[in-house]
Amino acid sequence: MAARRRARRAARARPAAGRGGPGRARAGRAPAANVERRIHASDEETLRQIEATARKVHAEIGRGRRPDLALPVRALSNVSYDDGVGYLEIGRQKKVRTLSVNTVKNFAQTLRMMSLSRQLVQGNDFATKREAYYISKNWDECKFDEQIESDTVMDDIEALFSVSHVNREQLRFYPEEHSGSVSGPLVVRDRDSTGQVATIDCTNFGSGAYSVPSSVEELELETTAAFVLLIETGGMFQRLQSHRFWESANCILVDMGGVPTRAVRRFVRRLADEKELPVYCFVDCDPYGIANIYRTLKVGSGSAAHVNRFFCVPSARFLGVTPQDIVDYELPTHPLKEVDVKRARDALKNDPFFQRQPPWRKALEQLIRMGVRAEQQALAMWGLNYVIEEYLPRKLAEPGKFLP
């Protein structure tokens, strides 16, 4: 089992190294060989994993022994970054929860939550964190008193099964938030919970867009696009969408609306892996756009390292706005606030991703030295559609120059 896991991990690591690594300047199509195309458990696999875990606990009890569950430690101290892996990875530390007088309630709640997950998969339904909390109100002595308790148990279960390549959406626990708009040459096939299949042509939305669902695991994707362009603000997305930039540039546009949701990250990850599309990120030039939005998209977040494997896009590259763009395009700026400077310094000092990336260290130092930030809309100074007519085409002609 451990050997198989290691082998899988090695297979998984290879394409990330090939794409995200500093040695790879070209940002064209990634090599397809050895790519584990879809880190994805089928419903059958998910059920098998849940049942195997339950059976193990049951068998221990049958033998008169106290059962335990070994959960990956979800803490920054158990996180590492390796170019070859390409995302902030959870380490090998485990906390072993053994059934005892003190742990009995939490142990039982964990098993009930697993049982709920099994029911959801079997019934082709899902529950949000909030809903799972309220469902527990019928669990008699197992019920949760506060949602924070049920959230923690859900996170534990997510971490537990993540080592078996089953993610939270596959356990049918869906995030509460619903956001992320998409347009461009992409066809989505989606079977809803009643079994009906919808075919969604993302070139056909006028000024509107396709709003991705909370779980994107089961979507079938077909595209003729050459790349994915992720955009920080709704206003900029609206401009590119209204002017059909996806058509002239042959790309898929994605509105992140700030830090991208799990669903958006997973959606783009699937496009990157399965369709081998390069992914470019277009955000404000400030420490938030760089160290929060882009970093989370590319390598995931430190506090949720157990899910980064599924929910980040290691092949993503930073199109702009870069600190050097502020100089080259003579952009109007705002002074960096103290919190901005602190965020940039933190990234340089504490963030394993930026530490490993000399071009990023240089760019962040340049930004701090300049003492200013620029919004992506600052390009409007040169004309409302300068971004469409000049900036993006110029940038896209040289993806090799994008920051890693």
The residues carrying an active-site annotation are 134
| Complex with its own copies: residue 125 or 346, whichever CB lies closer | 125
Q: Does 346 bind its own copies (CB under 8 A)?
A: no
Strand, coil or helix: 91 = coil
Residue with tokens 């430690």: 73
d(CA 90, CA 76): 9
Exposure b/e, 303-322, CB count within 10 A at least 16 = b: ebbbbbbbbbbbbbbbbbbb
Q: Does 191 bind its own copies (CB under 8 A)?
A: yes
| Complex with its own copies: residue 168 or 317, whichever CB lies closer | 168
Q: Does 200 bind its own copies (CB under 8 A)?
A: yes
x-or-dash string of contact with its own copies, 157-186, rule CB under 8 A: -----------------xxxxxx-x-----
Task: Identify whether the C-beta of residue 251 lies closer than 8 Å to the C-beta of residue 319.
Answer: no
Q: How far is the CB of 5 from its own copies (least distance, A)?
A: 31
| Complex with its own copies: residue 23 or 206, whichever CB lies closer | 206
Q: How far is the CB of 111 from its own copies (least distance, A)?
A: 19
Centre a 10 Å sphere on the Cβ of residue 398 and count the other Cβ atoms it contains.
9
Q: Does 65 bind its own copies (CB under 8 A)?
A: no
Q: How far apart are the first and last CA of the chain?
A: 34
Which residues are registered as beta bridge partners of 222? 187
x-or-dash string of contact with its own copies, 312-341, rule CB under 8 A: --------------------x---------
What is the H or E stretch that residue 201 is in?
strand 197-201
d(CA 181, CA 171): 24
Interface region with its own copies, contact rule CB under 8 A, candidates 122-130, 221-229, 303-311, 318-326: 122-130
Q: Does 140 bind its own copies (CB under 8 A)?
A: no
d(CA 179, CA 264): 8
Q: How far is the CB of 384 from its own copies (least distance, A)?
A: 6
Residues 201-220 that bind its own copies (CB under 8 A): 204-215, 219
110: left (phi over 0), alpha (psi -120 to 50) or beta: alpha
Which residues are registered as beta bridge partners of 228? 252, 279
Q: Does 193 bind its own copies (CB under 8 A)?
A: yes
Q: How far is the CB of 319 from its own copies (least distance, A)?
A: 19
What is the H or E stretch that residue 267 is in?
helix 262-274
| Complex with its own copies: residue 199 or 303, whichever CB lies closer | 199
What is the H or E stretch that residue 222 is in?
strand 220-223
d(CA 21, CA 375): 28
d(CA 368, CA 296): 21
Token reading at 348: 């340089």
- Among 275, 366, 377, 399, the residue binding its own copies under the rule CB under 8 A is 377
| Complex with its own copies: residue 29 or 137, whichever CB lies closer | 137
DSSP-assigned states of every residue in 128-149: EHHHHHHHGGGSGGG--SSHHH
Which residues are registered as beta bridge partners of 260? none
Q: Does 196 bind its own copies (CB under 8 A)?
A: yes
| Complex with its own copies: residue 50 or 347, whichever CB lies closer | 50
Q: How far is the CB of 248 from its own copies (least distance, A)?
A: 10
d(CA 267, CA 302): 20
Q: Does 122 bind its own copies (CB under 8 A)?
A: no
Q: Does 244 bind its own copies (CB under 8 A)?
A: yes
| Complex with its own copies: residue 85 or 240, whichever CB lies closer | 240
Q: Does 241 bind its own copies (CB under 8 A)?
A: yes
d(CA 369, CA 390): 27
Q: Does 141 bind its own copies (CB under 8 A)?
A: no
d(CA 156, CA 132): 14
Size of residue set near its own copies by CB under 8 A: 64
Interface region with its own copies, contact rule CB under 8 A, candidates 28-36, 95-103, 231-239, 302-310: 231-239
| Complex with its own copies: residue 121 or 364, whichever CB lies closer | 121
Residues that bind its own copies (CB under 8 A): 125-128, 130-131, 133-135, 137-138, 174-179, 181, 188-194, 196-200, 204-215, 219, 233-235, 237-239, 241-244, 255, 257, 332, 375, 377-381, 384-385
